[in-house]
A = this chain, B = another copy of it.
């Protein structure tokens, strides 16, 4: 078993290649749309969802080759959501992964279509590369109005409001948690995990997803735009409720530590086979960008 940072670099590199292969070539018509799709997906991103999908699938003995499609499907849904989230009618952001956002680099109508077509591509990749109807339904449920898109809608309604911590968690369980859960469970499904294993992985993913968000809120409050590659301090400027604004920075960090421990506990049944997911939990907790 290679060390974690070597494994992570290898999965990130193969995800980049697989995405480049799944995305239509930039010289295929309509070229501007395809160029903008590739611009928005390639050459950046931590690839957290693909890492989670590979780590979960490896528990059940799957080779990386078998996991590229579900891993990329989850990443394409994530990439589409970022492009739409950055649009003027949503967060109106100009910087993403250290580059101008899609609608700034291209134009708003193109960015709308880029997001639309990336979502479609996610389902196409999964359907054409071994995804079963239950896997496709799982991804759709996670992405849709009772998952990620629903979380965005709850987020829209929350700007300027005082939320309770419970309401904030409800939002994040949808907005980021649902797709993180789907990434883990797609790997488990692909590997033929049984119901008990899937239940533990769902519990793991629930904690890991919230951990990811709490850390995001801490980073937004503490880190610089240069480090993040996206605009820092936006939550406060936009008066968005965050774990930091509700709990304060110290309590948010305590919450992160608790979620990290609970996520690891959920992996107990897998013993050494759960090491990658455990290491990933540490990576999510300790990341600085």
Binding site for B on A (CB under 8 A): 24, 28-30, 32-34, 37, 80, 84, 87, 89-90, 107-110, 112-113, 115-117, 119-121, 123-124, 127-128, 131-134, 136-137, 139-141, 143-146, 149-150, 152-154, 156-157
What residues of chain B lie closer than 8 Å to A141, measured between beta carbons? 124
Query: In the complex, are the beta carbons of A30 and B153 less than 8 A apart?
Result: yes
What residues of chain B lie closer than 8 Å to A127, measured between beta carbons? 133-134, 136-137, 140
Query: In the complex, are the beta carbons of B30 and A113 less than 8 A apart?
Result: no
What residues of chain B lie closer than 8 Å to A115, measured between beta carbons? 116
Known A32-B157, A154-B29: A109·B133 in contact at CB below 8 Å = no
**Out of B84, B109, B123, which one reaches A116, CB within 8 Å?**
B84
State A124–B178 Cα separation when bound (angstroms): 15
Known A123-B123, A137-B128, A153-B32: A145·B112 in contact at CB below 8 Å = no
What residues of chain B lie closer than 8 Å to A30, measured between beta carbons? 145, 150, 153-154, 157
What residues of chain B lie closer than 8 Å to A145, measured between beta carbons? 24, 30, 33-34, 37, 113, 117, 120-121
